Structure 1
Amino acid sequence: MIFDLQTGETPKEITGDVCVVGTGPAGVTLALELARKGRSVVLLEGGGEAYEESSQALYEGAVIGHDHIDVAASRLRQFGGTSGHWTGLCAPLDALDFEPRADIPHHGWPITRADLDPFYARAHPYLDLGPYRYDWQDWRSIVPFPALPLDPTKILTDVYQQSPPTRFAEKFMETVRAEPKIACWTHANLVDVTLEEGGDVVSSIAVHTLDGRATTVRAKAYVIACGGIENARILLNARKQRPAGLGNEHDLVGRFYTDHMTIETSMLLFRDDVDTRLYPTSLNYDGAEILMGLKVHPDVVKERNLNNNSAFLVADYGDAVFSDDFRNYGWVAFSTMLKTFSRGHVPDRFAERTCDVVDDLGSVATGIYRHALRRVLPEKPAQAFRLRQDAEQAPNPDSRVTLIADTDPLGLQRIALDWRVTSDDLLRLRRTHQFIGEQVGAAGLGRLQLGVSDPPDLSIAYSGYHHMGTTRMHADPRQGVVDADCRVHSTKNLYMAGSSVFTTGGCANPTLTITALAIRLAERLAVSA
């Protein structure tokens, strides 16, 4: 059921077995899984059922570090959360991402990839993905195009799957509305967390609307699932009983902020007779839309002290008609609205997206013109391929979210994001590209034009808007905010969900892992709550 806290009579208290704050992929998945196991869930959304400027403005903050990022527009405060504008690319984290590494301090989770595999498989239907298969060997007999003939002990063909992308508001809002075990409240903003006097058990949370209504939520367990920035902001603002903030006894909340460095650079030039059809575009087989990239083998990653990275091959055509360089924010807004209309729905954030189209009309017009020509012109082969990646960053405690004096209309302090992009991360990427080029050359396939300089130009790195790490998972309370079950170390019934618990970011887009972790957390809470 869905209720609006801004309308009707305000309840003095809302109760349930589990309170989940946030309706993005983590929160909705968790609520549905718990409801199916018979648990009553109070599901809170700070925004409305659709986009609202007043709610979205609560995300405004400062950027004081690497400035190729935005702290407000990169996330959505409405039902469905940031699934409302994610691009849908999915892959699990690699086994390597969970392992401690001597060459990278703070690397490694207290769980393994094998621990998550069954939950990754269960996450696929939530995201409208195909079979849970990400090894090229599982696809090579199905896909008619060959992989590049590179030494598989050095370079792997990496497999990603493409979600439509799934918009959780479109797919799950009516399911939540019809579910009697879920009481979802919109315009319900968490403003404070109260512990039992002198204890480590959360007894209630305070919830306010922007127009001044207030209520209290009581549950056996509480889960904050508001994203990699907001999760930290909520804990840091909860200072009524713990002056440093909840879970922040060791000054870790907000630290280790990591993102994926979106970088398109370096150029692979292949011989004319090399078959590259597997790589530049997505392919549809066995109920899945798959995309392939190139990845350095994990043994080599460790031997050469590299970060994990998967590089996609972006075709550079001799004829500009076949180039996709028009795909700016205006084209993304235009194509999103077009797809939504084609499904018989009115796009969310219609006015905002229309403004994006008008503001970037040149790119949109170019895209329409090129797509029309592509229907009648024979496609010319690509001459070269740029390497595009969401490159991994090493965990860095100085990369962090902190509070500033400025407050929002609810009285919570806003955040400053100090995102650190380091020369070391970019030099590791440079060495990764060098190794790929060496292997392409050794196989006689072509050559690589290196695009990462030494010393590196930090300005080539842009945010992938994958906010991770600010309430990181670790077995040791002095090295992480939550334990292997996503429970805040210093409490008995407060949990964090979403990418804020990631200990490392790997190079896979985070939504599949977010959803898998939510299912895993639901299994534990169904027993304990």
Structure 2
Amino acid sequence: MILDSRDEKVNLNRSVQIAIVGAGPAGLTLANELADLGPVLVIESGGFEVDADLQALQIGECVGIDYPLTETRTRQFGGSSALWAGYCAVFDSHDFTHREWVPGSGWPFGVEAIKPYYEKTAKLLNIDDLNFDPRDIARRAEIQLPFDNEIVIPTVWRFGTPTVRISEHHRDHFDTSKNVITLTHANVVDIRLDAEHSMASTLKIRTLSGREGHISADIFVLACGGIETARILLNSDTQVCHGLGNANDWVGRNFMEHPHLSISALTVERVGLFKNWLERGYFDEEKQFLLCVGLSERIQKEAQILNARAHIYRTPSMSDDETPKVGMFLEQAPNPNSRLTLSDRTDSLGMRRVRLDWRLTELDWKSYEKTANYLSREFERINVGKVRDTIHLIDRDDSLLLHSNHHLGTTRMSRNKADGVVDSNSRMHDYSNIYIAGGSVFPSASWANPTFTLIALTLRLADHIRTKLEQVRGG
């Protein structure tokens, strides 16, 4: 059942077993997985259309690299899936490991912990199989891979058919659900703790029209993105100084994106070889893919650089006969100084606004330089590109950076309380019943688009919560 919180007939004071904040890909996936345990309540700030007054809640200030806060998320049922272009990719196995040259790297578990959820993730994203092998896909598509050796490796993006738009695909399902109630136009403005400050007791919600309510639950899950989740925690400071989960000053730190930079010194030749780089190709008749290329794990380790992938593209303003460009999607290093805090300005709900300081490090720029040079030499070696100049760190220019709409890392996962906000099961270290779902828990970002990993991680969280509740019932 979907209810509009602005409606005076809708009761905003509720007690449920599970309360999930955010009706985006993570929140709705989790609600669907736990619906049979019921009752589940989903709390969503927006409705079914983009609302200018709601989008205005995202207005903030940028004091580092400029970042379009209001453009990279929409407050509506379906969340970021409304903006998603459908790119699916899996992390490399070494993305989960500690790399000694990458401070803050290393997840509390390896890829084997979430791999069992990949098959179901693929199905949820309308991908027919779990084939991310570029060599096999190229063979099935009857094309040649221009790059494939010990230095450079091919990679593919997969795309579901059709692209999953949660607001379109699942609205009817959630509207008729008996076990899941969704409150739209409801904004969480505070999280209240019990007397011992060991667990959450209630959420305070408010509509733009002035209605208020309180939600009590056994388990609370914040699933409202890498910026808004941290913002809610930092604003919830009436009982705990500096905000919830922030005793060690980690909430809001390590904001990561996937910066995009072009390799301007490289010109593509023999453009015909790159048809399935410039546009989606098909294998097994209807399965869609797109090619890209990166450096092998061995080269990354030897060069002590981050992960990245290069793709070939034309901008929307370019004509089909113009020479395409080469660009790179970069892994951003975890950086505690790349962070969001709160400003003194407040929004129409009385919550302090975001102050974002997005920063790159020397390692980020070094990784761009070295990766671009390795790949440029390979393009030239096999006669598919021409290098005009060597790329140097002196070429850095923040104004050339493009963003990827990925908000990652601000409530990072860690083995120890001193090093992050949530544990390996996505539960906040400080509170027994508050969980966080989504890309904000990523300790590191890989090169890959996060949605596939985010959904797999959410399915893993659903299993954990299910086991926890069944143990309580059985005990």
**Contact 1:434–1:450, Cα closer than 8 Å, also in 2:** no
Of 508-517 and 231-240, deviating more is 508-517
Matched, 1:391 2:330: yes
Shift of 1:462: 1.8
- 1:291-440 to structure 2, matched below 5 A, reads 291-314=290-313, 324-326=315-317, 385-440=324-379
Instruction: State the match for 2:387 in structure 1.
Output: 448
Q: Is this contact kept in 2: 1:131–1:288, CA < 8 A?
A: no
Letter of the 2:136 counterpart: D
Matching residue of 1:54: 53
Mind listing any 5+ residue stretches in structure 2 that lack a counterpart?
470-475
Pick one of 418, 421, 439 that aligns with 1:481.
421
Query: How far did 1:510 drift?
Result: 1.3
Q: Residue 285 of structure 1 aligns with which residue?
A: 283
Could you list the per-position Cα deviations for residues 57-90 of structure 1 after superposition, in whole angstroms to 9, with x for gaps in the alignment? 11111111101x2111211111111211122211
Alignment of 1:43-122 (within 5 A): 43-67=42-66, 69-122=67-120
Structure-1 residue corresponding to 2:21 = 21
Q: Distance in 2 between matches of 1:467 and 1:387?
A: 24
Corresponding residue number in structure 1 for 2:250: 252
Q: Does 1:460 align with 2:400?
A: yes
Q: 1:128 is matched with which residue: 123, 126, 145?
A: 126
Shift of the 196–434 alpha-carbon distance from structure 1 to 2, 3 Å rule, reads: same
Give the secondary structure class of the aligned counterpart of 2:242: coil
Question: How much has 1:268 moved relative to structure 2?
Answer: 4.4
Secondary structure at the counterpart of residue 478 of structure 1: helix
Conserved? CA contact 1:20–1:41, under 8 Å: yes
SS in 1 for 2:139: coil
Which residue is 1:526 aligned to? Answer: 466
Matched, 1:154 2:151: yes
**Residue by residue, what CA displacement relative to the aligned partner does 1:200-245 show, whole Å, maximum 9, x if unpaired?**
1111111111112111111111000111100100000111211121
* Cα offset, 1:423, TM superposition: 4.3
Report if the CA contact (8 A) 2:305-2:363 is conserved. no
1:4 matched residue in structure 2: 4
SS of the residue aligned with 1:204?
strand
Answering whether residue 438 of structure 2 is matched by residue 498 of structure 1, we say yes
CA drift at 1:112:
1.6
User: Within 1, Cα distance between the matches of 2:10 and 2:248?
Assistant: 38
Of 167, 170, 179, the match for 2:168: 170
* SS of residue matched to 2:77: coil
8 A Cα contact 1:238 1:246, kept in partner: yes
Q: Is the 8 A contact 1:266 1:448 kept in 2?
A: no
User: What's 1:210 paired with?
Assistant: 208
Contact conserved, 1:109 with 1:473, CA < 8 A, in 2? yes
Q: Is the 8 A contact 1:151 1:439 kept in 2?
A: no
- TM-score, normalised by the number of residues in structure 2: 0.93
In the aligned structure 1, how far is the partner of 2:388 from the partner of 2:438?
38
Matched position secondary structure for 1:389: strand
Partner of 2:472: none
- Give yes or no for contact 1:267–1:386 (8 Å, CA) kept in 2: no
Counterparts in 2 of 1:137 and 1:202: CA distance versus 1, 3 Å: same
Residues 1:470 and 2:410 are matched in the alignment? yes
Structure-2 change in CA distance of 1:276 and 1:462 (3 Å): closer
Query: Which residue in 1 is equivalent to 2:473?
Result: none
**Is the CA contact 2:148–2:154 (under 8 Å) kept in the aligned structure 1?**
no
- The secondary structure found in structure 2 opposite 1:103 is coil
Shift of 1:96: 1.7
Distance 1:53 1:276 in 2: 41
Matched residue type, 2:106: G
* Counterpart AA for 1:14: R
> For structure 1, which runs of at least 5 residues remain unmatched after alignment?
315-322, 328-369, 375-379
- 1:121-144 CA deviation, whole Å, 9 max, x = no partner? 211232222321212133133011
* TM-score, normalisation: structure 1: 0.84
Identity across aligned pairs (percent)? 33
**Match of 2:365, SS?**
helix
- Alpha-carbon distance, 1:161 to partner: 1.1
Distance 1:275 1:48 in 2: 45
Check whether the contact 1:10–1:214 (CA below 8 A) recurs between aligned residues. no
